[in-house]
Amino acid sequence: MTETRTGIDFNPFDPAYRADPYPYYQRLREQAPIYRTPLGHWLLSRWEDCTAVLRDARFGHGSASLLRENTFRKPVEGRARPFILLDPPEHTRLRSLVNKAFTPRTVSRLAGRIQELTDEMLDRVIDAGEVDFMDAVAYPLPVTVISELLGVPAADRDAIRDLSHVVARSVDPDFQHTPEELARRDDAFTRFDDYFRGLAAERRVRPADDLLTSLVTVHQDGERLTEPELLTTCILLYVAGHETTMDLLGNGLLALIRHPEERERLRADPSLADSAVEELLRFDPPTQMSRRTALEDAEVGGQAIAAGEQVVIMRGAANRDPAAFADPERLDLGRKENRHLAFDGGIHFCLGAPLARMEGAIAFATLARRAARLELATDELTYRDNLIIRGLAALPVRLSS
Ligand code: HEM
């Protein structure tokens, strides 16, 4: 069988893969849906296999020693692990504490402010000639929303912008980083911890109407967040809260520019905004992959996976699996039954999904309503250097009313 396979070796450095990973995903799904890389990771590209792993308690993140042996990404020594990297029961405890602070009400009352920010930002870019959409809207909109929600003062945001990018890049496998980058990552975590430690101390003395104050005070069944847990949770919410939403907006706008007929559909019927967001997330998800470790001997799609081996959920590939989606290569903003994996499909299902969905729906509906013409201002698009998070370095466009 190996002789007939072409082009399925996983090369995340290949510029063609970076520019458009979907032809590779298709070959992988068709020729080797459970593919073992030379480094020993199992790449899963079928929706059913990915979903099975995400729902299977035999797969998780594992103990500290298992994580240290991880050939994909080692944790930063000496820090509390964020709950995105924990298994039950620790994951359950922390997630439910954070859920108590970050409620559906917290999110729903942000709608007016998100609309106001979107309008302000679009005022500056519509009929303004060539603009970089990433710089003008896709980055500032979600970073302002999560900063205001958490209580990060406007004056501090530039200073923590670089820290945030370094931390976001650190979700990539270690083999993607130089030793200098790994040192910079560890330093960024330390400085981020220091920053939130100071801010949390202020909130203990002077509580405010923000998520940080809720996290400082939240308790359930006699449990609270310890100081290290509080700090990693703040960083997780801050970074996860905008680095991925930024790419929903960027990748989504690019897909709309490339599919003018779908864009017209949304313009004619703004009630499609919610399903449009789901479809844009399916079509080109910001988080392309996630890793899980077999905590005991297990099996996926007929393949035995030994305890300690690592599997990679290829979300971008699963989201275009014809066994799970009708006509998967087509962008269909009104798609029904859209069980995409862009937000995960198990116990780690994105905690911020309601907020990300709301930001996406408001931004795309407003864009469709206010900008009659959307054009790319270049044919040369560059993606940022991340492997796990897929997003554009810049998106030069012309938007006209
Ligand atoms: C379009 C935007 C977003 C995408 C595509 C996205 C995607 C994801 C994915 C795939 C996971 C699961 C990762 C894994 O299990 O390996 C996740 C988890 C998480 N996300 Fe998001 N996310 C987005 C926005 C947000 C926002 C706005 C927030 C916070 C305000 C957020 C907070 C979190 C948290 C805290 C987790 C960990 C949940 C857990 O482990 O139980 N995300 N997200």
Q: pLDDT tens digits, residue range 222-244?
A: 778 899 999 999 999 999 988 89
Average pLDDT over residues 200-209: 94
The chain-wide mean pLDDT, for the chain, equals 91
**Residue 75: pLDDT above 80?**
no
If you measure from the C-alpha of residue 78 to the centroid of ligand 1, how many angstroms do you get, rounded to a whole number? Answer: 24
Alpha helix (H) ranges present in 319-396? Answer: 353-370
CB-ligand 1 contact for 238 (6 Å cutoff):
no
CB-ligand 1 contact for 245 (6 Å cutoff):
yes
Residues 6+ apart with CB under 8 A from 247: 138, 286, 389, 390, 391, 392
CA-CA distance, 299 to 377, in Å (whole number)?
Answer: 48
Q: Which of the 8 DSSP states describes residue 376?
A: E
Shortest-distance Cα residue to atom 23 of ligand 1: 244
Q: Are 368 and 267 a contacting pair, CB within 8 Å? A: yes
Query: Encoding tokens for residue 169?
Result: 């890049």
Average pLDDT over residues 293-318: 96
Residues paired with 298 in a beta bridge = 305
**pLDDT value of residue 69:** 57
**Ligand 1 atom closest to residue 355's alpha carbon, by position in its atom list:** 27
Average pLDDT over residues 26-35: 95
**pLDDT value of residue 307:** 94
Higher-confidence position of 13 and 226: 226
Q: pLDDT tens digits, residue range 91-117?
A: 999 999 999 889 888 898 999 999 999
**pLDDT value of residue 34:** 97
Give the pLDDT band (50/70/90) at residue 2: very low
Give the pLDDT band (50/70/90) at residue 303: very high
- Domains in the chain (CATH in brackets) are 2-400 (1.10.630.10)
Higher-confidence position of 73 and 2: 73
**Ligand 1 atom closest to residue 292's alpha carbon, by position in its atom list:** 16
CB-ligand 1 contact for 102 (6 Å cutoff):
no
**pLDDT value of residue 376:** 97
Mutate to test the pocket of ligand 1, among 350, 351, 357, 386 (most ligand atoms within 8 A of CB): 350
If you measure from the C-alpha of residue 4 to the centroid of ligand 1, how many angstroms do you get, rounded to a whole number? Answer: 38
Mutate to test the pocket of ligand 1, among 244, 251, 279, 310 (most ligand atoms within 8 A of CB): 244
**pLDDT value of residue 169:** 74
User: Which one, of 324, 313, 97, 61, lies nearest residue 214 by Cα?
Assistant: 97
If you measure from the C-alpha of residue 236 to the centroid of ligand 1, how many angstroms do you get, rounded to a whole number? Answer: 9
CB-ligand 1 contact for 286 (6 Å cutoff):
yes
CB-ligand 1 contact for 248 (6 Å cutoff):
yes
Angle (deg, nearest 10), helices 140-150 and 353-370: 140
Q: pLDDT tens digits, residue range 149-167?
A: 999 999 998 888 888 888 8
Higher-confidence position of 323 and 104: 323
Higher-confidence position of 285 and 69: 285
**Residue 387: pLDDT above 90?**
no
If you measure from the C-alpha of residue 22 to the centroid of ligand 1, how many angstroms do you get, rounded to a whole number? Answer: 22
CA-CA distance, 383 to 381, in Å (whole number)?
Answer: 7
Higher-confidence position of 300 and 39: 300
Peptide bond into 89 cis (omega under 30): yes
Higher-confidence position of 24 and 76: 24
Q: Are 200 and 166 a contacting pair, CB within 8 Å? A: no
**pLDDT value of residue 165:** 81
If you measure from the C-alpha of residue 373 to the centroid of ligand 1, how many angstroms do you get, rounded to a whole number? Answer: 32
Q: Is the Cα torsion angle 45, 51, 52, 54 positive or negative in sign?
A: positive
Higher-confidence position of 222 and 143: 143
CB-ligand 1 contact for 391 (6 Å cutoff):
no
Report the percentage of the chain scoring pLDDT > 70. Answer: 95
What's the distance, CA 261 to chain centroid? 27
**pLDDT value of residue 3:** 45
Higher-confidence position of 184 and 79: 184
Q: Is 323 exposed, middle or buried (CB count within 10 Å of its CB: 0-12, 13-18, 19+)? A: exposed
Higher-confidence position of 42 and 172: 42
Number of H helices, E strands in the chain: 17, 12
**pLDDT value of residue 70:** 57
Secondary element (H or E) of residue 163: helix 157-169
Q: pLDDT tens digits, residue range 253-276?
A: 999 999 999 999 999 999 999 999
**Ligand 1 atom closest to residue 286's alpha carbon, by position in its atom list:** 5
**pLDDT value of residue 187:** 86
**pLDDT value of residue 1:** 38
**Residue 337: pLDDT above 60?**
yes
**pLDDT value of residue 72:** 56
